[in-house]
Amino acid sequence: MTPRTTNGPVAVLGLGAMGAGLAGRLLDQGIQVRVWNRTPERIAPLAEAGAHAAAHPAEAVAGTTAALCVVADGEALGDVLRGPDGVLSTGPYPGVLICASTVSPDEVVQIAGDVPSVLDVGMLGNRDHARDGELRLFAGGEKTAFEAARPVLEMLSKEVVHLGALGSGMRMKLLLNLLMGVEVQALAEASELAAACGLDRQLVLKTIAGSGFASPVMAFKSRRIAAGRFEEPDFRLRLMAKDLMLATKQAAAVGLSLPLASAAAETHVRATEQGLGDQDCAAVVRALAPKPETDT
């Protein structure tokens, strides 16, 4: 079945930092937007801006030509698509289903099943990029679905790339998050080592941020670490832990050993277990702090 072209209303399912930014961007572009979120309080600001607030995913996608799923993980994506009152609960979705949740590439193929027109899209950027249309998007799926969705994707980004078969977008996203997770942990380790050795942490972080070693992400995260400000996360630590674990599982499936990714995954999982999961991923630095000595 040829998907309807995406020149009509668009649904956004999941209104975390990225989903809310995407919905706001579409509203700014004059698109009719229908939104749903598991916790209704996040809907209010978008409803005030003109979005239709839906009670469940099936209502949100009614009459739309594209649906963006931006939920936390594979379980949530499965519920949104195939659960009670899910997108597919009343039959096939006639538009293009865009899965922008970071899940296992194999999982997105499994969840999609026999959905006629579906893309998996890896998003590179943060909430501000989403709101301002400055994301870079990497899509997997059939070419016909990609071309139908291109107008919406181009509204949301400064670059759109079709990588190939369904699952390709997630593979690219996991690679990118692997790099960020390892990089931010290396920054955190350098910061902790500096403090433990008696160097001024603030000066060290400032030096790193201004050096040739620092990527834009490292420079930005160094400011978070220097300020100890991990609330209002750009990317939650628990989601980074999930993505690093997914990357290591992908590597194992193709016979690769990724020592740096595995070590970073272990640290992020431990940090999540310590209660840091809903803070910014730069809070991994708190999982590296030396434990206080105890009397024996």
Concatenating the DSSP letter of every residue in the chain gives -PPPPS-S-EEEE--SHHHHHHHHHHHHTT--EEEE-SSGGGTHHHHHTTPEEPSSHHHHHTT-SEEEE--SSHHHHHHHHHSTT-TTTTS--SSEEEE-S---HHHHHHHHTT-SSEEEEEEES-HHHHHHT-EEEEEEE-HHHHHHHHHHHHHTEEEEEEEESTTHHHHHHHHHHHHHHHHHHHHHHHHHHHHHTT--HHHHHHHHHTSTT--HHHHHHHHHHHHT--SS-SSBHHHHHHHHHHHHHHHHHTT---HHHHHHHHHHHHHIIIIITTSBGGGGGGGTSPPPP---
Q: Is 242 assigned a catalytic role?
A: no
Q: Which of 173, 206, 242, 249 is catalytic?
A: 173
The set of catalytic residues is 173
